Amino acid sequence: MLMLAEDARDPEGRLLLPRGVCVDADKIDALRRRGAAALLVMETPAAEADESYAAGDAGAIERRLERLFRRCGDDDATRTLRECLLRYRLGSTR
């Protein structure tokens, strides 16, 4: 199984897929079509890839929210909204 060893980014530096995501030939082709010139991948056992994918996915969600909220300030309402969105996107219903 192949897994991204580094974030895949387009020529402008935007994140396409975070490191730790498992990729197949179709995903690699899609990344190339979106401008990713080079990808660093590693082969990993399936069980290890599943654990890394989950960790990478949570990290990607957090990075995406940080980017979305980067110019919103740090008041109580903004922090509460960001925390609620993070819990929602991670699947927590607390």
- The predicted-structure confidence for 13-36, as pLDDT tens digits, reads as follows 988 888 888 888 898 999 999 999
Looking at the structure of the chain, the number of domains it has is: 1
Spatial contact of 17 and 53, defined as CB atoms under 8 Å apart: no
37 secondary structure, DSSP code: -
Stated pTM of the model: 0.49
Alpha-carbon distance of 15 to 10, in angstroms, equals 7
SS3 call for 16:
strand
Alpha-carbon distance of 33 to 15, in angstroms, equals 14
Parent domain of 11: 2-90
Q: Give the pLDDT score at 44.
A: 72
Q: Give the pLDDT score at 33.
A: 92
Q: Give the pLDDT score at 52.
A: 45
**Of 50 and 12, the one with more pLDDT:** 12
Q: Give the pLDDT score at 92.
A: 59
